[in-house]
């Protein structure tokens, strides 16, 4: 499963990229606003930090303006992935863009039927929001499983990009279901490393090594 980080914070992206585990980045207008920086500038900087796709979202709601914004965004870098909402105009834009080779991430997916439409529109990625789904008393993981089954039934090439991930359990269940990508805040990615037995094991090794009085030469 691919790991994307969901942030527009350059320092966090650098830290995640240095692990060698980062496959891409997702952003949205809210994350860009939180960064307090110029949209085009920060998007270009992110694209320079990672080799994988960087989702940059249009803000228009009509097809014609979405296409104009997409034309501007995809000039930023070769790895820009245009992000559009799951609306009629969004899917119309998706179809047009993917037809000429542009990667598109269809966002704000909350039903398997919507995901089916995104795949038919040729989406590169579809982003179902599991955390927000859970917030409304529904089962986000059931949604991912339904989308996986539908896509496998018809051999759709659209990748399931699980979004609105709140915790490591969401990541685990997404991987078990067979989701293609998980996009997460930096804190969730860091949480995947943590286990109390790992921490205790390291403490024990360090204590035992110190008792030997030895060092491993580093130069």
Contacts of 106-109 with CB under 8 Å at 24 or more apart are 107/28, 107/55, 107/57, 107/83, 107/163, 109/147
Both tokens assigned to 95 = 């179809």
187 burial level (CB within 10 Å; 0-12, 13-18, 19+): exposed
How far apart are alpha carbons 146 and 115 in whole angstroms?
Answer: 10
83 classed as catalytic:
yes
Q: 77 — phi, psi (to 5°)? A: -165, 160
Catalytic pick from 2, 44, 83, 120?
83
How far apart are alpha carbons 80 and 11 in whole angstroms?
Answer: 19
Work out the number of other CB atoms within 10 angstroms of the CB of residue 21: 13
C-alpha pair distances (Å), 71 with each of 80, 115, 138, 139, 199: 11, 24, 37, 36, 49
Active site residue ranges: 83
């Amino acid at each position: 499963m691919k790991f994307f980080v969901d942030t527009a914070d350059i320092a966090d992206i650098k830290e995640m990229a240095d692990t060698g585990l980062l496959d891409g980045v997702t952003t949205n207008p809210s994350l860009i606003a939180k960064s307090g920086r110029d949209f085009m500038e920060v998007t270009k900087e992110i694209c320079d930090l990672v080799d994988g796709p960087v989702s940059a979202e249009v803000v228009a709601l009509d097809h014609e303006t979405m296409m104009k914004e997409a034309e501007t965004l995809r000039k930023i870098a070769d790895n820009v992935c245009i992000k559009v909402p799951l609306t009629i105009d969004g899917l119309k834009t998706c179809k047009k863009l993917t037809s000429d080779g542009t990667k598109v991430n269809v966002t704000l997916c909350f039903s398997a039927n919507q995901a089916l439409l995104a795949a038919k529109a040729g989406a590169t990625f579809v982003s179902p929001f599991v955390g927000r789904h859970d917030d409304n008393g529904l089962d986000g993981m059931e949604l991912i499983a339904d989308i996986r089954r539908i896509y496998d039934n018809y051999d759709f090439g659209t990748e399931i990009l699980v979004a609105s991930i709140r915790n490591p359990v969401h990541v685990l269940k997404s991987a078990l279901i067979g989701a293609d990508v998980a996009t997460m805040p930096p804190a969730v990615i860091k949480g995947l490393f943590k286990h109390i037995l790992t921490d205790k094991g390291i403490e024990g090794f360090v204590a035992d090594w110190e008792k030997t009085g030895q060092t491993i030469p580093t130069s």
